[in-house]
Each structure stands twice: as C-alpha cells, then as structure tokens.
Chains A and B, each alone.
Chain A
Amino acid sequence: MPQYTLWISARKDAGTAWFLGGLALVVVLVPILNQVVPPSSPFHLSAYGLTLVGKYLCYALLALSVDLIWGYCGILSLGQAAFFSLGGYAMGMYLMREIGPRGVYGDPVLPDFMVFLNWKSLPWFWQGFNHFWFAILMIALVPGSLALAFGWLAFRSRVTGVYLSIITQALTYALMLAFFRNDMGFGGNNGFTDFKDIMGFDLHSDRVRVVLLVITAIMLGLSYVVCRMIVASRAGRVIRAIRDAESRIRFLGYRVESFKLWVFVFSAVLAGIAGALYVPQIGIINPGEFSPINSIEVVIWVAVGGRGTLYGAAAGAVLVNYAKTYFTSTIPEAWNYALGALFVLVTLFLPRGIIGLVSGRVKKQGKTERPLIQAGGPERSRE
C-alpha cells in the first residue's frame, strides 16, 4: 500500500499552501467585512467591493483552466473565453427565466427582449431553464460538448501549435458573431441583464452576494485541488510530456489525442463554471465576452503569474485584473499600452512569470513523489 496519498503530496507544495490558505482567508474575512463591519468603517467591504472580489475569483478559476490546457499540456487555446461565456449564458438563461412577470413587459414566460422582438413563444432551447438543476447541467454540458466536438476534430487530425491556436481563435470569433445577432434568441447585442433573483434569493442583497462569493471561493478551492490531483498523478506527467515532446510520448504507447481531449473538455467545463459564477455576481452577460481579446487576456494572466504552476495562474489573474481595475478608472488609454507592454515584457523577460521570479533559481532537481523504496539498494519492503 503506497505510503502516502496525492493530497498529502499537494500539501507539501508551498505554493498550494499559500493559495488555499489565502482562499480560506477570503472565505472568512469577506462575510465579516461586509456583514459585521459597519458601513461607516473604512474596512467595510461594499457591494461594489464584493462584486470585484467575486469577479477576481471567477477569473482565477478561468485562469486555472487555461493553465491546465496551456501551462501543463502546451495547447495554446485562444478561445477559452468562449467556454466561459457559454457557461455564463447558460446561467443567464436561468436567471432571465427567474425574472418571470417582473420584467418591463410583464410577460410571465418570455424575457423582455423576446417580447420586444414580437416573438410569441419560447424557443425550444430555452425549455427547461426555469429549473436550476437543468441550468447547472447545461453549464457543464454545453461548453463540454463543444470542447469535445471541436477537440475531437482538431486533435484527431494532429493539428498543433500555432495552427491550433488560430483555429480556436476563429471558433470564439464565430461564436461572437453568432451571439451578436438579434435573432439568435440570446438577447443579441444587449445580452442578458436586469436579473432579479437566483433560486428565490434577491441578487441585489448583500447577504446573497456574500454567499455567492463564498460559493465561488469554495468552487475555486475545489477546482484547484482537483487540478492539483490531476497534475500530480501519472496522467499529469503524461500531459506534461505531451507538452514537451509530443511524438515521443506517442511512441511510448500513449494515445495523445485521448489525453488532450480529456484535458480540453475538463478545462472547458471549469471555464464554463467560472462563467456561470461570474454572471449572477456581475449582473450581465453580453456577446462581447466571446471576443478573441478576452481569451488572449486570460493567457496573459497565466503568463504573468507563472504558467504550469496552478497557483501562479490564479495569482496572475488577480494581479492583472486588479491593475486593470485601477488603471481603467484613472487613466484608461494607458491601460491598453500597459496591457500590450505586459504581453511583450512577460514573454521576453519573464517566461516563468512572477512565480518564477519569486522562486529564484531554476530547479535542477525534480520532486518525485518520495519513492517507496530507497534508491541505491534493492531493499524491498514486504507488503
């Protein structure tokens, strides 16, 4: 019986410890700072602050998904925001139906934009979204299925590298164009907004916001642990081998396409979940979320933080978005310059991201899981 389990090995990793610890801190502090600390105090976390933190957490989850597919597997997918948005739209559809007769036009079934378009009945693909469990299912299923179909086609034909990146970018671009159309049934260029409540809880109340934020943090933590487990397993090593020497691993007998597909689909589902958590906190989803620049920005978060580390990706997401929030409120034009410069500087000078900078010297030694038997002598422990 192996002496240790994977999650213990995860605990031995300093980055993971910091990350999970930080999350725990958020989970504890946020409710206090919002609910307990009075609004007059400078420590009070306002509703705006709640939204901001929630947003960062969702982005951190999105960054995790990109790190998994790019940092570990080497697939530069420039379309992860598509999966994020699909999850967001699925949640949005549920929230729209929850509005019910409280919309501007007062129709109990049809959302406002459909009434505006003179539609008489709900399109078939809206059926079922009045049930929360159905929405949850779709949040995982829709991005997952798209990733499955697309990935199967792409990986099977051995499309790799830059070609693959271009095609993923084209995919999200096409989706953006499609969702911008007013007759698609997804709200056109306005998207979905004006949400009222979720499962009966008022979305505008601070309490509910806090709960949503805590749920997001927990999901982030859970996803992190699962990702860490994947990455620490033998499958994780295969995935990293695919990144570094794809044909070699093939000759060892591994079905590379199958591994890539699993990771791609799982990553898409993670992104979808991130999107679904994002929408009720932000209060809006529109087709601009599909635009290619969003996807590329996520890649930069991961690159800045440190790809191939998981916690680095999450940290990068929070850092860059914090900078963005700060810059766009003070000097908006400068943000574009700053973002562009970030891309250039990180790729040129910080290939291992900030984490790389912090952890100092390049590792010469690996950290294999501690072998059951010691090297240097065939001492076998009997089981």
Chain B
Amino acid sequence: MSVHDKTLYVEQLTVSFDGFKALNDLTLKIQPGELRCIIGPNGAGKTTMMDVITGKTRPDSGTVRFGPKLNLLALSEPEIAQAGIGRKFQKPTVFERLTVFENLELALAGDKSFLNTLFARRTVAQETRIFEVLEIIGLAQQHQALGGTLAHGQKQWLEIGMLLMQEPELLLVDEPVAGMTLQEIERTAALLQSLAGEHSVVVVEHDMEFVRSIAKRVTVLHEGRVLAEGDMDQVQSDPRVIEVYLGA
C-alpha cells in the first residue's frame, strides 16, 4: 500500500450547461487520508463535481489539482484513473457480460496498456487479492456469475469491489448505500472507515444516518457552491443549511 500524501484542491470551479450553472465558483479541499461526506439537495452539483474531477466533464473555469503538481484538468479519464483516483458511480455500472471475477480482475491495479493486457498472466498474488475483495464485498460464492445477473444491491457491492481493486489514493464514492439493507449499510460504513487514513475518501450521500455514522467532516453543497462545512453537529445546526436542506 503506497503512502499517499496528496491533497485534492478544487478551486473556483464553474460549470454551466446551457446557461444553467451546475457548479458556481466551487472551492474545497480534501486532505490526504480524510473521510469527507458531501451532502446537499438534488441539483447542488455533487455528481457534477465528481464528473469534473474524474475528467468526464470539462469545466468552464477553475482548477483541480491532486497534490501540488498534478493538474487533473489536463488529463484524460484513463490518466486520471491511473493517477490514483477511483470512482464508484451513482448508477452501478458493472460489465454485464463478464463474470464477477472478471469484473474485479479488470479493475486490478497495474499496467493497463494493450500489449501488457494481451500477454498478462494472472499471478497468485493478484488472485489472492481478488478473492480477498470478493470476501469483503460478499460475492465470493457468485464469482462465476455474469455481472448482468446480479441484483441491484449486489451490483453496488461489485462496484465497490472494483473500486477497491484499483487501489486508488482518492476514492470518490457516489451514493454507496442506495438500496442496501441495514446490515449492508453497516458493513459499508465500516469498510469506508477502514479505508480512510491510508486513502482519502469522499462520499456523496443522502442518507443522513449513514453520514453521521461515518463522517468527521461534512461539506454541504447548494446551487453549485459550498454552503457550509464542519462536523455533522455544526452542519445540522447551521441555519442556512436548515433553511435550504435539512429543515423541518
């Protein structure tokens, strides 16, 4: 596990779609090893922010840096992934026609060029790792099942698993517990907490109980910019936040 010390800097990010400002001069900072929750009403810009960080959307203005030197806006999506930023998407997208095992195998960290993957042979260490993750996500029995046959919740877990396989330095997790049972939510919370420290974890969620259970620091987004930031109590008692989001 590499020691990482990169801070994610998001500075004055502005993104507009057809005149609608999804992100409006957004600035925030994620310290290395932090576990941050991002909350906010729908349309606040949470997913858009992740889109910009991972290279899916180009901003109109602003900067995004990972560490002092790495300008993420100059990189393509694969390059950003290779730079150590992994994302679990809001809508679970697994590879339907590959098995669970193969899905995880694809996410293996390492050289992802064509030639390398053409001649790659799976090592024992790699396989071990895959099975470890299979255990963590609870899909060890289904490792031969095709991705498309999984239930929604299982797909979520598979995606989390794929994220783990990537061994990223920064994890962007978009709504991880949607559709999960209480037990699964607890497991997810424990998992994310265990990851913090060696990784930076950014979680976007709506489930307030879940957020409370894991977050040290919470950022509230509204209309494309930061409305409030602090620990859960501070944020929940902030009058602006109450008015906009949590109220009554």
Chain A positions within 8 Å of B, measured between CB atoms, are 2, 230, 233-235, 237-238, 240-241, 244-245, 247-256, 258-259, 262, 363-369, 371-373, 375-376, 378, 380-381, 383
Contact = CB atoms under 8 A, between A and B. Distances in A.
Contacts of A256: 78
A364 B146 contact: yes
Contacts of A366: 98-99, 101-102, 144-146
A255 to B, nearest CB: 5
B193 interface: no
A2 B45 CA distance: 47
Interface stretch (B8-16, B26-34, B109-117, B211-219): B109-117
Contact of B106 (A241, A262, A383): A241
Interface string B79-105: 001100001010001111111011001
A250 B96 contact: no
B120 interface: yes
B122 interface: yes
B188 interface: no
B126 to A, nearest CB: 10
Interface in B30-53: none
Given A255-B112, A378-B132, 8 more contacts: A237-B106, A244-B96, A247-B77, A248-B94, A249-B95, A252-B166, A368-B99, A368-B101
A240 B77 contact: no
B120 A375 contact: no
B124 A373 contact: yes
A369 B105 CA distance: 12
B17 interface: no
Contacts of B82: 253
Contacts of A258: 113-114
A254 B78 contact: yes
Nearest to B77: A250
B128 to A, nearest CB: 6
B149 interface: yes
29 contacts: A2-B121, A234-B117, A234-B122, A235-B118, A237-B105, A237-B106, A238-B106, A240-B95, A240-B97, A241-B98, A244-B98, A248-B95, A250-B81, A251-B54, A251-B77, A252-B106, A253-B78, A253-B82, A255-B114, A363-B146, A364-B145, A365-B145, A366-B99, A366-B102, A368-B143, A375-B140, A375-B141, A380-B128, A381-B124
B106 A378 contact: no
B166 A375 contact: no
A233 B145 contact: no
Interface residues of B, number: 45
Contacts of B120: 233-235
- Of A241, A252, A378, most buried by chain B (CB within 10 Å of CB) is A252
Nearest to A248: B93
- Of B89, B96, B112, most buried by chain A (CB within 10 Å of CB) is B112
Nearest to A373: B127
Instruction: Name the 4 nearest CB pairs between A and B, nearest first.
Output: A253-B81, A366-B99, A235-B117, A235-B118
Given A234-B105, A234-B106, A375-B143, A364 B149 contact: yes
Nearest to B109: A253
Contacts of A241: 95, 98, 106
Given A230-B118, A233-B120, A262-B114, A247 B56 contact: yes
Contacts of B127: 371-373
Contacts of B97: 240, 244
Contact of B122 (A2, A249, A262): A2
Nearest to A378: B131
Contacts of B96: 244-245
A190 B221 CA distance: 70
A261 B215 CA distance: 44
Given A252-B106, A365-B145, A368-B101, A235 B114 contact: yes
- Of A254, A258, A259, A376, most buried by chain B (CB within 10 Å of CB) is A254
A251 B57 CA distance: 13
B155 to A, nearest CB: 12
A248 B106 CA distance: 11
B227 interface: no
A363 B166 CA distance: 28
Contacts of A248: 89, 93-95
A245 B93 contact: yes
B124 A238 contact: no
A255 B78 CA distance: 6
B162 interface: yes
